[in-house]
């Protein structure tokens, strides 16, 4: 893949998730400090491509960690995706989330993140066009309630780690989950 191809793919990825690029979050090393820190640098396709290429960054502790990015999913009252940060239940919750979304006529995908103290993931429900953020949040909350998921629904003004980004506190990387 050429550098231009990577840039174009990263631009498409961002365009499918959020138009809000004024800042982003970076996941911190699991060292007892906060889980994320906010960067006022713009979220760019080049930054996303670097994360997908496995780039590392030096934290203020001096440790190098893999670049893992998050963003706010809404801007000017609009959003492109609904999401649920699932806190517990692992693969069973992920399957329940996908099955419930399908019952609502929605397509989605889950990225799991599990470690000794965390067994959850993120359910992503993309829309075909920018939609009112309140409407997408309502959809996420309805899926969350119907599937009996513990966690937090999005889009809100809070950041969320983007799909396929490494979870530095729950290693293992993306896993495929089916509704069955």
Task: State whether 114 and 54 are in the same domain.
Answer: no
Residue 59 falls within a domain, yes or no? Answer: yes
**Confidence tier at 177 by pLDDT (50, 70, 90):** very low
Q: Are residues 22 and 48 in the same domain?
A: yes
Instruction: Give the pLDDT confidence of 44-97 residue by residue, as tens digits.
Output: 999 999 999 988 887 777 778 888 899 999 999 999 999 999 999 999 999 999
Greater pLDDT, 165 or 32: 165
Same domain, 40 and 104: no
Which of 57, 72, 87 corresponds to the end of one domain?
72
For residue 55 the two structure tokens come to 């780039």
pTM (whole model) above 0.85: yes
- Element holding 96 (H helix, E strand): helix 90-103
In terms of domains, do 66 and 82 share one?
no
What pLDDT, in 10s, does the model give residues 90-120?
Answer: 999 999 999 999 999 999 999 988 766 678 8
Does 110 share its domain with 146? yes
Residue 149's nearest CA partner among 92, 83, 93 is 93
Residues 64 and 86 in one domain: no
Considering the domain architecture, whether residues 20 and 65 belong to the same structural domain is answered as: yes
What's the CATH code of the domain at 139?
3.30.70
- Look at residue 79 and tell me if it is in a domain: yes
Worst-scoring range by mean pLDDT, 30-39, 46-55, 81-90, 153-162? 30-39
Number of domains in the chain: 2
Tokens matching residue 41: 């640098």
In a domain, residue 173? The reply is no
Q: Is position 177 within any domain?
A: no
Say whether both 15 and 80 belong to one domain.
Answer: no
Which residue, of 54, 72, 90, is where some domain finishes?
72
- Looking at the structure, do residues 64 and 108 belong to the same domain, yes or no? no
Expressed as residue numbers, the domain containing 141 is 74-161
The arrangement of strands across the sheet holding 69-72 comes to 36-39, 24-27, 69-72, 159-161
């Amino acid at each position: 893949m050429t550098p231009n191809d990577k840039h174009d793919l990263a631009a498409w990825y961002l365009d499918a998730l959020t138009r809000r690029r004024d800042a982003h979050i970076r996941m911190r090393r699991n060292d007892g400090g906060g889980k994320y820190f906010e960067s006022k640098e713009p979220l760019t396709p080049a930054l996303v491509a670097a994360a997908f290429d496995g780039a590392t960054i030096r934290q203020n502790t001096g440790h190098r960690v893999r670049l893992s990015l998050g963003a706010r999913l809404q801007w000017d009252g609009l959003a492109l995706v609904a999401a649920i940060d699932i806190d517990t239940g692992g693969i069973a919750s992920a399957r329940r989330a996908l099955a419930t979304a399908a019952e609502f006529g929605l397509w989605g995908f889950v990225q799991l993140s599990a470690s000794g103290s965390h067994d959850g993931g993120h359910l992503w429900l993309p829309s075909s066009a920018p939609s009112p953020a309140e409407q997408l949040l309502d959809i996420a909350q309805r899926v969350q309630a119907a599937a009996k998921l513990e966690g937090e629904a999005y889009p809100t003004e809070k950041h969320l780690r983007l799909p396929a980004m490494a979870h530095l506190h729950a290693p293992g990387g993306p896993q495929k989950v089916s509704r069955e």
